[in-house]
Chains A and B, each alone.
Chain A
Amino acid sequence: VSTIRVALADDDVLLREGLASLLERFGFEVVGQCGSASELIALVRERRPRLAVVDIRMPPTHTTEGLDAAGAIREEFPDVAVLVLSAHVEVEHAMDIIGSGEGTGYLLKSRVTDVDDFIETLKRIVRGASVIDPALVQELVAAQRVDDPLDELTTREREVLALMAEGRSNAGIAKRLWVTEGTAEKHVRSILMKLPLPATEEDHRRVLAVITFLDAR
């Protein structure tokens, strides 16, 4: 397995160093660190990392610079995977990030301290997965609706739907729920029958479809 080359962008130096140290301990090669969106784009152009991990809030306005940088990177280098970290998760940001194609992720910043999961998630993103933070998915699934189509689903199917929204593959779902992949597939098919969701093999399209559905239902 070749080493994954990573670029880091966060204006908080302490946190960035901590993250770099973590990634190196787990065999990633941090090819560069920076504290702003423009520096990150230059860094990616120069070092061509496999993955960019970006804080959403950076100078100058401290709002969504990281999001814009992620979009710019995906535009110029579609093969560079991007993970956007944020102190709060918003569905609009999630759509933006996942909408730019496979190999993207959007997580709460605190997830970096859940080390094993975090490293595993980075590897999935690099392999082309699209990952959405479970907190956002929970918020979407838990939203109260009149005549909620989710009422049609069994409890297990709701769990499966949430995992689909988080960007898990059928195999990933099976692993999470301690069931066989066949069982997971059966749940997914049942969900697709009950809800107006397109059947798609592409991870990021499935995530996008589920998130869009959850948000708009």
Chain B
Amino acid sequence: LSGEELRVGEEHAALRRVATLVARGVPAEEVFAAVTEEVGRLLPVESVAMGRYESDGTMTVVATSGPVGDRFAVGGRWTLGGKNVSTVVAQTGRPARIDSYADASGAVGSAVREEGVGSGVGTPIIVDGRLWGVMTARSGPEQPLPANTQARLANFTELLATAIANAESRAGLARLAAEQAALRRVATLVARGAPPEEVFAAVTEEVGRLLGTHLAGMARYESDDTVTVVATWAAEDDHGDAHPLVPGPWPLEGGDLASTIWRTRRPVRIDDYRGVPGRIAAFVRDELGIGASVGSPIVVEGRLWGALFVHSKRSDQPLPRDTESRLTGFTELVATAIANAEGRAELMASRARIVAAADETRRRIERDLHDGTQQRLVSLGLELRAAQEAVPPQLGELKRELSRVAKGLANVFDELREISHGIHPAILSEGGLEPALRALCRRSAVPVELDLRAERRLPAHVEVAAYYAVSEALTNAAKHAHASVVHVELDTHDAILQFAIRDDGVGGADPGRGSGMVGLSDRIEALGGTLEVTSPTGSGTTLLIEVPVEGQRSAGSPGP
């Protein structure tokens, strides 16, 4: 075999080995190292290096082989410019060659000259039509590189491009998958109607983990031009308790993320905290040790509600350029969660108002019946009796007629008393739940064992709800359950009124059917309470009801 045939054979073998690595999908860094190694062995060069062009006019060294100075170590970052192979390739996108470094310039050029390089060549690494980086090869002093060096390098850079394209799409897919999974977890919480606080904590953690940052946080703008931290997350190797987390409120007056987003309503980044004015920036920089941050606004139904932040402790490396756009998916979910919670809170308040208005109407009707109709009936009865007395004895039939009418009026009074009691039992307002329930149980068609442990008076709406719940349950027990006894227990625990109503009837009650049960559950839910019906066929019916005593059970207070 000729030297040329041997060379071609070795080169093919090397290319095959690299291609196998690429096909196996090993990490790109491994391919980079292998390629520079193979090229270093095959070509009559002293050293080989591979660099990646960054978007900010710099180049990062990603692999080397052969004797290169420490300054060219992997990971090093170089500013492009001047006369040198890497810069020329970056500028032209084509292979470049420098046979004398005497007049080389720029950061790279000067460093290479100082290394005592004879000549250098570089070939672009073009991934999917985009200039990704460069592979360079150098000879020692007084050793010009063969004319075909660029061409032979190019064989390898094509393989590199494939490896990089593969790795990028894999990494992109993995990243996308992780992002989608995180978004899905948050979306599930939101759809479940989890309390906003829970969503805030989840989003902050997901974002922090996904973006690989040291800290993540969420803040809410308040109506008095301040901002409050509502959730924070710190990476595990970064003890959260070491951070003096101060929820605020913080004044919005500096150049920090929160203040800037508040002014601009746009995503904001800080790549360098030095000189950023304001208390928040000082705290983030000096107390939390943050070097770079990105924040994105949370806009709820057109109104700036708050912001989501990620922070890195590295001051030498800004957060990736796509951080803002990656935050957006999460801020949109947070906005949905807040809008939902606000909608729910409004709905709850509206239901509570409707129930309160209905209760008030019943009270008013009862009072009107009492003060007007019932009093009037008694007055008329008295007048009738007076008229009856005035009838002369000889008109006995008329006297008896008037007496019958007076008795009829008294019966109407009794009927009205029953109706009025059904509309709103006066004793409930006068004496509270206990006497009202005791009276209710006395009137029940089924015997009731009443166990009352709530001694104090409760808010009117709670007493009314409890009264009608028991009333409805007793009616059901008598009408449908054919029960022989009903047990009613009431107790208050931790500002929650709990009551259990059990009967020994036929069971099989369907809480979704029968307007009484639906109305009952509506009423309980309107107060932020819960109703649980257990009614196995043949084993009686149990209603377990809980109603918060002090105002509404928190449906989330999503802020201003």
- B413, closest chain A residue (CB): A110
Whether A90 contacts B427 by the Cβ 8 Å rule is yes
- B406, closest chain A residue (CB): A113
Interface residues on B, range: 35 or more
Interface flag for B429 (CB, 8 Å): yes
Interface flag for B103 (CB, 8 Å): no
Contacts of A215 in B (CB 8 A): 438
Mask, A121-155, CB within 8 Å of B = 1, is 00000000000000100011011111010000000
- Among B367, B385, B426, the residue within 8 A (CB) of A115 is B385
Whether B367 contacts A21 by the Cβ 8 Å rule is no
Contacts of B409 in A (CB 8 A): 113
Whether B439 contacts A112 by the Cβ 8 Å rule is no
Whether B441 contacts A143 by the Cβ 8 Å rule is yes
Contacts of B183 in A (CB 8 A): none
Whether A18 contacts B383 by the Cβ 8 Å rule is yes
Interchain CA distance A114-B425 in the complex, whole Å: 25
- Among A15, A19, A108, A140, the residue within 8 A (CB) of B417 is A108
Interface flag for B314 (CB, 8 Å): no
Whether A88 contacts B426 by the Cβ 8 Å rule is yes
Interchain CA distance A12-B376 in the complex, whole Å: 9
How many positions in chain A have a CB within 8 Å of any CB in the partner chain?
34
Shortest C-beta distance, B297 to chain A (Å), equals: 53
- Among B378, B420, B442, the residue within 8 A (CB) of A15 is B378
Mask, A54-71, CB within 8 Å of B = 1, is 000100001110000000
| A88-B420, A88-B421, A114-B410 given; A57·B370 CB < 8 A | yes
| A12-B375, A90-B439 given; A63·B410 CB < 8 A | no
Interface flag for A91 (CB, 8 Å): yes
| A62-B371, A144-B444 given; A113·B435 CB < 8 A | no
- Among B374, B377, B379, B435, the residue within 8 A (CB) of A92 is B435
Interchain CA distance A185-B429 in the complex, whole Å: 41
Stretch from B326-334, B445-453, B456-464 forming part of the interface with A? B445-453
Interchain CA distance A21-B375 in the complex, whole Å: 16
Whether A87 contacts B420 by the Cβ 8 Å rule is yes
Interchain CA distance A14-B484 in the complex, whole Å: 48
In A60-102, the 8 Å CB interface with B consists of 62-64, 87-88, 90-92
Interchain CA distance A142-B447 in the complex, whole Å: 11
Interface flag for A22 (CB, 8 Å): yes
Interchain CA distance A109-B384 in the complex, whole Å: 15
Interchain CA distance A125-B97 in the complex, whole Å: 127
| A87-B374, A92-B435 given; A140·B442 CB < 8 A | yes
Interchain CA distance A64-B432 in the complex, whole Å: 13
Interface flag for B495 (CB, 8 Å): no
Contacts of B430 in A (CB 8 A): 63-64, 90
Interface flag for B485 (CB, 8 Å): yes
Contacts of A112 in B (CB 8 A): 378, 381-382
Contacts of A144 in B (CB 8 A): 444-448
Whether A110 contacts B381 by the Cβ 8 Å rule is yes
Shortest C-beta distance, A97 to chain B (Å), equals: 14
Interchain CA distance A62-B370 in the complex, whole Å: 10
